[in-house]
Structure 1
Amino acid sequence: MWDAAWPYLAAILPTIIVAALFYFLMKSILEGDRRERLAQSQWEKEERNDTGDNS
């Protein structure tokens, strides 16, 4: 059974691994961007409150 299936697995396995790596990389980048935007928003809010500017 493995003799017949191995060529197909060997052909598709690298694609699956690269797709999984790409998924986790993009997930990490997007999560980092979300956190950065949240931190920037909080910092800007604190700066507005410190300076008394209500715009």
Structure 2
Amino acid sequence: MDSLWPALAALVPSIGVGLLFWFAMRAVIRADRNERLAVARMEAEEDARDAAVSKDAS
């Protein structure tokens, strides 16, 4: 039991840094996904607007 606490004390910082890295990467991936969705939405709106303008012009 005496060797359990030093072993846990040695592992906790690594686990903590691993969790921080995981949360940071998760946030980056979610932000990228949301940005791609927003860009796709904007492009779809632009395409619809361009199609309406070209249809009105002809």
Residues in 1 aligned to 2:47 and 2:34: alpha-carbon distance in whole angstroms = 20
**RMSD after superposition:** 1.1
When normalised by structure 1's length, the TM-score is 0.87
Alpha-carbon offset, residue 4 of structure 1: 1.7
Residues in 2 aligned to 1:36 and 1:19: alpha-carbon distance in whole angstroms = 26
Higher relative contact order, structure no. (Cα contacts within 8 Å, ≥ 6 residues apart): 1
> Computing the radius of gyration over CA atoms, which structure comes out larger, 1 or 2?
2
When normalised by structure 2's length, the TM-score is 0.83
Aligned twin of 1:51: 50
When the two structures are aligned, how many residues end up with a matched partner? Answer: 52
Residues in 2 aligned to 1:25 and 1:31: alpha-carbon distance in whole angstroms = 10
Runs of 4+ in 1 over 4 A off after TM superposition: none
% same residue: 44
After superposition, where does 1:33-44 map in structure 2 within 5 Å? 33-44=32-43
Q: Structure 2: give runs of 5+ residues left out of the alignment.
A: none
Alpha-carbon offset, residue 45 of structure 1: 0.4
